[in-house]
Structure 1
Amino acid sequence: MERAPGRNVDSRFNTLICEEDMHDEGQPNYSFPFSDEGMQQAPRSSMTHHRLAPVSLVLLAVVLLMVDIGLGIHYNDLKDTHLTPEDTERISQDLTALQDTYKAAIESMNDYMKQRNMEESRQTQTNWEMEHQTKRSTDYKKTVAKMTEDIASLRYHLPMTRDGCIQCPPGWILRNSMCYYFAFSKIDGLKSWPKAREFCQSHGGDLAIIDTKDKENATVTHLLGKLDPEVRQGFWMGLKNTNVKGIWKWLNGKTLVEGYWMDGEPNNIDHEVCVAVYAKENFFMAWNDVRCDAQVLKWICEKAPTNVS
């Protein structure tokens, strides 16, 4: 008769252990705070709290398991001795309280998981929208750049004067009310600075004078559109060192005010007193001084257009 209560406690203890195993197998292995206040604060906590929550539940599960084992050992020690009704009732209450605490932890974990998943979903959508807006901004910038180039091209090719249209010979292009010839053709070959100037003069012009930032930018941009930047091909222009105190002068007699030299240039090595321009993305660093008799460069001619009324 004295062991009857013990068997009742044993069955309850086994029932608790079975239910605990069922929860362990059916629930994810995470840990979370299980007070209402903790649940309200969790979504606003930092990533550190997100990492600490699973660790907390794991520790709780370990503690509960240790309590289960301790109670089981304690019960086994007592079941062969005399148990009073008060002992049986106390053990039953401890096991019931432990089971309720474990259920509350599982419920808190599930609620916390739902809230965390909702926050992650909202963050993912925010990231998608940011990527979308960034792409739109990049596309707009490309469109604006293309439109700017198109407008500049129209300005170069379609200028009008009061006397009528102005035009250039075939093979020449119109820019800033001047005609330019770029010796891209293989037929033109390569020339020295004096020979290139003779070619321009024979067509009613001279080597190009690139004496402003806008002219420099337009010239280099045109070269980049026709040449591979990796191909180091220079083009003679109408600038030369007079050898008078190292003064550089344009063919129209004006002294150079602002140059767009490459790093370390001009260095005047081996009597390099003539200048060539190259296809460089940074048009502020596109000039180099070269020996005037070097027959290794192309050239750019310049002349006034013909008015057609």
Structure 2
Amino acid sequence: MDNRKIFNRVPNDTYDRLEFQEESGIDEQPVYAEQEKQHVTVSSIRPESSVNQYKLLVISLAVLAVILLTVNIGLGVYYRKLTGGYLLRDISGEMAKLQTAYDQAVQSKQEAQMQLVKERSDHQLTKWELEHQITRRKDYQKQIDQIQVEVSRLTSHLPLLSESVQKHYYCSAAGRTSVLLFSVSTEEGCRHCLPGWSFIDSTCYFFAISESLSIRSWLSARQFCQKRNADLIVIKSRQKQLAIINFIAQYHDTSLTYHQNGFWIGLTDMEDEGVWKWVDGTRLSDGYWHVGEPNNQQNEDCAAVYPSENPFRSWNDAPCSYNLKWICEREPTSIG
């Protein structure tokens, strides 16, 4: 019996099976015995595909190794930078810059605080100097006012002064005297005003300063003036105000209170509260009220003038029923 090798070829030039068969006799009728039948099979053997897959695997592993090596080298370099102090030196440099900036900021703050203290000190000094200047200004203003009053007083006496000797003239009648101010001459002053009246700036005035006269209410004082063809004084000029204040200051009774030293003037708001009018019917245009006056605290409808260092702050409103001194005025008697 001859043995034949049978190769079953597949289209991919691979061998699916290798079989050995025993042939018996000429009729080629095989007699198989189960024990002797042999089958040898090699499944799907592709030599080229296996090689390609192996190469691909090798290349992939090589690429991966290269990548890992690169990463490892990068990590190593970074680690060396860290361990070598590059990053630490950068941080130290930034810290040094920040510390320098902080020190400069602290120094600037201290300088600003010192400047602020200096500015506050200068401001306080300026404030004190301003207060000093204001006080001096007030003193100067008082001196100016006093000088103006003195000038007014001296001016009122000029017509009565001789070239060599200063004289003070009085005109007496019925036991009373009259101080002549702004008079052209002694004789002319006596001829213009009644005994007991003062001739001031071409007008005759009566000051109720005699101890024989009792203090009166505003209406009673006005009646006193009207009986003598006069009325309560009307003050419409600065010169007149200064002259009146200067005159009553000479008769200031220090034993009396401030309010008891007042003199009624011809000013009231009895007809219309807050609308002050003179006894001649004209409205008040420029008053010399004390600070805070008139305030009408106790139905105060009549005005009075008081002795004051500041002649421009010497008026008060008071209840018309108060008993005070008074000032009358009238036109001078004509010479005939």
Give TM-score, length-normalised by structure 1. Answer: 0.49
Q: Name which structure has the greater RCO, CA cutoff 8 Å, separation 6+.
A: 1
Tell which structure's C-alpha radius of gyration is larger.
2
